[in-house]
Amino acid sequence: MRSRRRTGCAIALFVGATLLIVGCRPARAPTSPQAETGPGPIPQAGPLAAPKSLAQVGVPLAATAAAVPADNRQTPDKIALGEKLFFDGRLSQDGTVACSTCHDPAKGFADGRPVSIGIKGRHGQRNAPTVLNALYNQFQFWDGRATTLEDQAVLPIQNPSEMGQPDLNAAVAAIGKIPEYQQAFQKVFGRPPNGADLGRALASYERTQVSFAAPFDSFMAGDKTAINDSAKRGWSLFNGKARCNLCHALTATKQDPTFFMDHQFHNIGVGIVRHNVVALACKAQASLNSGNTIAVDQAAISSDLSVLGRFLVSKQQADIAAFKTPGLRNVLVTAPYFHDGSMNTLWDVMDHYNKGAGLADPWLDQDIQPLGLSETEIDDVIAFMASLTSAPYRAAGEAALARQREIARTSRTQRNTARAFAPKVTQPNPTLVCVPAH
């Protein structure tokens, strides 16, 4: 196993140390301003919401079977119940927000917003990842605070900035009043609705969202005309000069045409300079119980500690502002990008990597460095990512690519060509020193 991060070290607490001041600077207001004030109407299940066929080209059949846990087998009735719940606002405290509000099948099971909007127009701190292929994740959430889809599903229901129920029992009580659900739970699980079964049904539906059948899959299956020359060059760059495979592949030694993720966490320099992470890390160290999943969930979605990423879960210094490597399938239709939705286009993402962003960040992953990619090479890597769009999203993907290209024509906020072609600078030493507040 490669080691990409510095080994974790415990945080030293020095009384009276002078260097780093803790906790007192006001944190930045929530991420970029969004014009919308409410979560909008609940997206309904359409053809894109239907369980997917396993006959798509590229589906990893063994991994798909392995993703189903022994205590939550797939049955048609359970999947149907999960689908109904996924689109049902009655799971939320005021009836206005469903899972589909933030995971809309028409938007690649994301929401197209920088950060999500829950009940009463409450903005969270994080960008909604897609549910497509989430069954293959070894960790759920950007910081991996849940491992299974079952454990993940019950958290947004109780998060004050998302579906806002005071606790899981309140959601169960709301659903349990409805005769249709009473009958469905009885039929599927042989008992009245309860929190664990609610999570099981939702997870079961999510496991049907297997999304392959992209032009790249046809290419890998032998159709050499399925993707254009630019995308082919992009795939080579991805595994070579652009260094993407160091994280977006299961191993660095073998090309991975399936998942495009390593199930690990890295600090790649997103947004770090905007935040006083040392002060925040010290605050989390002192005030957050990482063993309390509800507390971590609220910190991640609703507090300024959100920027600490995996550190919220592990309290390891090496995990400061480290986030999970996301898979890249259907990435074209799930803009904006990164855990905070801070980048609008794949050109911004490429400019970010090209300059080896985050040079002043002591916790930056060692695999991040200036890449020296030309404009043509950037376009090629983007063409490759565009070839990862699954068949049902083909038209949406083409529209998104045209829109992003148009934005990028006049706005390349992350571009720094001089730095992209300059050598890597020495990073500051990663030491976290917390002074107890007086």
Chain contacts with ligand HEC (rule: CB under 6 A): 97, 99, 101-103, 116, 118, 124, 126, 128-129, 131, 134, 137, 140-142, 149, 152-153, 156-157, 162-163, 202, 206, 242-244, 246-248, 266, 268, 270, 300-301, 323, 325-326, 328, 331, 334, 337-339, 346, 349, 353, 365, 367-368, 381
Q: From CA 19, how far away is CA 110, in angstroms rounded?
A: 42
CB of 283 or CB of 324, closer to ligand HEC: 324
Q: How near is the Cβ of 131 to ligand HEC at its closest, in Å?
A: 5
Q: From CA 396, how far away is CA 48, in angstroms rounded?
A: 12
CB of 217 or CB of 319, closer to ligand HEC: 319
**156-183 residues labelled b (16+ CB within 10 A) or e (exposed):** bbbbbbbbbbeebeebbebbbeeeebee
Q: How near is the Cβ of 163 to ligand HEC at its closest, in Å?
A: 5
Q: Residue 392: is the preceding peptide bond cis (ω within 30°)?
A: no
Q: How near is the Cβ of 21 to ligand HEC at its closest, in Å?
A: 26
CB of 171 or CB of 434, closer to ligand HEC: 171
Q: How near is the Cβ of 365 to ligand HEC at its closest, in Å?
A: 4
Structure tokens given for 359:
């040079």
Q: How near is the Cβ of 268 to ligand HEC at its closest, in Å?
A: 5
CB of 333 or CB of 435, closer to ligand HEC: 333
Q: How near is the Cβ of 18 to ligand HEC at its closest, in Å?
A: 31
CB of 163 or CB of 432, closer to ligand HEC: 163
Q: How far is CA 82 from CA 91, 118, 150, in A?
A: 12, 20, 11
What are residue 92's phi and psi, to 5 degrees?
-95, 165
CB of 210 or CB of 301, closer to ligand HEC: 301
Select from 275, 273, 316, 279 the least CA-distant residue to 125.
275
Please name every residue paired with 265 in a beta bridge, in sequence order, or none if there are none: 324
CB of 22 or CB of 92, closer to ligand HEC: 92
CB of 150 or CB of 435, closer to ligand HEC: 150
Q: From CA 327, how far away is CA 210, in angstroms rounded?
A: 13
CB of 159 or CB of 285, closer to ligand HEC: 159
Q: How near is the Cβ of 181 to ligand HEC at its closest, in Å?
A: 14
Q: How near is the Cβ of 120 to ligand HEC at its closest, in Å?
A: 11
Q: How near is the Cβ of 279 to ligand HEC at its closest, in Å?
A: 19
Q: How near is the Cβ of 148 to ligand HEC at its closest, in Å?
A: 10
CB of 143 or CB of 217, closer to ligand HEC: 143
